[in-house]
Amino acid sequence: MFKSHLLLFILLSSLTGSLFAADISVSIDRNPVNLQESFQLTFTASYDPDGEPDFSPLDKDFEILNQSQQQSVQIINWEKTKSIQWILIVMAKHTGKLVIPAINFGNDSSQFAAIVVNDSSQVNNTNEDLFLQVEVSTTEPYIQQQVIYTLKLFRKVNIAQASLTEPELADALIEKLGEDTNYNTQFQGENYVVTKRKYAIFPQKSGIATITPLSLTAGVIIPGQRRSNSFFNQQRTRTKQVVSAAIKLDVQAKPENTGVDWLPAKQLALQEQWSDNSERVIVGQPITRTISLFADGATVGVLPELYQDNMPKNLKAYPDQPVLKEEAKEDGMVAFREEKIALIPGQAGSYTLPPIEIPWWNTQTQQMEVARIAAHTLTAIAASSSTAETQIAQSPPLMPTPELSTPVDIAPDNSQKSNKLWLGLAIFFACGWAVTVLYFLTKKSNEAKKESRVSSPENTQTIEKQLKKACTNNDPVQAKDALLKWGRDNFQQSSLTKIAEQGAPDFQQEILSLNAILYSDKAQTWQGAELWVAFQNHQSTDLDKSEKVDPLPPLFKI
């Protein structure tokens, strides 16, 4: 008797639970579907389920791309009907007949469902509405050689919210080239819109390497789905994912007997320029040599140093900090390196600069080539002779002195002598008046120039204190800052090289030595005592020149 009552209680309990359990159905927007193509799963409940859904069982065969929830209430014949929906956008991970498992909503669960996933056909054999094509300029590049990777997106449908991955290759530098281009074309008899994108890939390790496939995820707009009476309704889309092919590269090691430096490029140009095109330079005066290297199809990382410490004896060289530039153009990378070297001859004579040779690998001809600057000879002349020649060449012509003469063969009378006397005096006073006016005008002009060139004494003293402190502490950076302030105040120059040109040879040499240490790649100690002594000598020389006054003698002595 007890067992029969217990069995009846269990039966009633289970029946009561089933009457109050939420009925959760599942629907699929289309069946079958293709691989790498999204579809919509909708879970619908007429009552509030026992708990929140757990969609983790879907992870085995599907990828959840988006998830949303909505609910609605309808009243028909005074009866309220409630509907709760969970909408999922998913994509199958593999082909076959796949099962949509039951999803638990607390103690409630949804129904089972099934879907057929077909393998998408090869792009070359069918006319897909959306697909990717990739290609490379070469599959057997040398190490550090530029490989142009071209991507083409073909589409004959409108897409929205597209997301494209970037190419990946282990041990490689990858740079995007230029802007995307769009054009129309025909493929297998169908019209397509093509978007083309290029990358430059520089493999840094030899061996077999694979460029990973690119993946495009986009919303394909479904035509005819927009409601004409609703302005705010957005067009419906279905998410589709397309994947490109993987590309294998057989990266070759650099050929043997190519030397230490390895520079693969499509084209290379090496050139030089001089601040003074003359072959003759002055002892103690700097002349600047600019060396430029241009490489098409390379990065700045492979460009070698252009200056070599192999200058002739008694010719000091002070290299400046190199200028490095890199640009990603539509057809590849372009790299540029420029170095400026200040050269100062220590004594008169001829100096032959050795040639500069840059070996490089021509990726178009697959051969080694050498870019070369021929040897260059400079002739240094003594500073004294050059200065004298310059002063002679620049000295103004002397003004002719008026001469008062009387022809010997004419015998003037007293009136003629008197007229000639007054005429001579008039000419003499006129010349004196002109010379006096010229003197005062010249003096005023020189004083104005001097006032405009020389900064205030207070500012000069402050800068000198800063320079002295920097030289005492052997701080090259503070010394550079002080010299730049001093050069701007006195010469309107903001470069150490230009400021050096304003001083004596010993002062020039110390400034250029400071400049070389500032931009040297090697760690060097700097002693500022010699710069401070040279600066003081320069200042005292300028002071002596300013105190020397050479006025014209008075016209009349009283």
Per-residue pLDDT averaged across 512-526, rounded? 74
pLDDT at 360 over 60: yes
pLDDT at 388: 42
Provide CB contacts within 8 A for 405, sequence distance 6+.
none
pLDDT at 414 over 80: no
pLDDT, the chain, mean: 78
List beta partners, residue 335.
295, 326
Report how far residue 489's alpha carbon sits from residue 458's, in angstroms, rounded to the nearest whole number. 12
Tens digit of each residue's pLDDT (9 = 90 or more) over 304-342: 999 888 889 889 999 988 999 999 988 899 999 999 999
Higher pLDDT, 431 or 259: 259
pLDDT at 404 over 60: no
- Band (42; pLDDT cuts 50, 70, 90): very high
Largest alpha-carbon pair distance within the chain? 181
pLDDT at 477 over 70: yes
| Whole-number percent of the chain with pLDDT over 70 | 75
pLDDT at 282 over 50: yes
Per-residue pLDDT averaged across 222-247, rounded? 70
* Structural domains of the chain in order of their starting residue, each with its CATH number: 22-118 (2.60.40), 123-224+235-251 (2.60.40.10), 264-384 (2.60.40), 457-546 (no CATH)
pLDDT at 281 over 80: yes
Tens digit of each residue's pLDDT (9 = 90 or more) over 182-201: 888 888 878 888 999 999 99
**Length reported for the chain:** 558
Tens digit of each residue's pLDDT (9 = 90 or more) over 447-471: 544 444 445 666 778 888 888 888 8
Tally of CB atoms within 10 A around 97: 9
pLDDT at 439 over 90: no
pLDDT at 435: 59
Tens digit of each residue's pLDDT (9 = 90 or more) over 89-106: 888 888 889 999 999 999
pLDDT at 277 over 50: yes
Per-residue pLDDT averaged across 250-268, rounded? 88
Long-range residue pairs from 95-100, CB within 8 A, at least 24 positions apart, any chain: 95/35, 95/119, 98/61, 98/62, 99/61, 100/26, 100/28, 100/41, 100/58
Cα separations (Å) of 11 from 3, 7, 50, 108, 206?
A: 12, 6, 21, 19, 74
Cα separations (Å) of 112 from 40, 43, 63, 115, 243?
A: 15, 11, 18, 11, 31
Provide CB contacts within 8 A for 131, sequence distance 6+.
123, 153, 154, 242
| DSSP three-state, residue 203 | strand
pLDDT at 259 over 60: yes
The token duo for 307 is 């200056």
DSSP-assigned letters across all residues of 186-199: EETTEEEEEEEEEE
Range from 235-239, 247-251, 297-301, 416-420 carrying the lowest mean pLDDT: 416-420
Range from 4-8, 115-119, 415-419 carrying the lowest mean pLDDT: 4-8
pLDDT at 495: 78
Per-residue pLDDT averaged across 13-24, rounded? 51
User: What is the chain's Cα-based Rg?
Assistant: 45
Cα separations (Å) of 136 from 164, 245, 267, 288?
A: 18, 12, 19, 44
Per-residue pLDDT averaged across 74-101, rounded? 84
pLDDT at 402 over 50: no
DSSP3 helix / strand / coil % (the chain, rounded to 5): 25, 40, 35
Per-residue pLDDT averaged across 36-54, rounded? 86
| DSSP three-state, residue 531 | helix
Cα separations (Å) of 467 from 295, 460, 470, 489, 525?
A: 42, 11, 5, 14, 17
Question: In degrees rounded to 5, what are phi and psi of residue 58?
Answer: -75, -20
Cβ–Cβ under 8 Å, residues 132 and 49: no
pLDDT at 517: 77
Tens digit of each residue's pLDDT (9 = 90 or more) over 132-171: 999 999 999 999 999 999 999 998 888 888 889 999 999 9
Tens digit of each residue's pLDDT (9 = 90 or more) over 102-130: 999 999 989 889 998 887 654 344 457 88
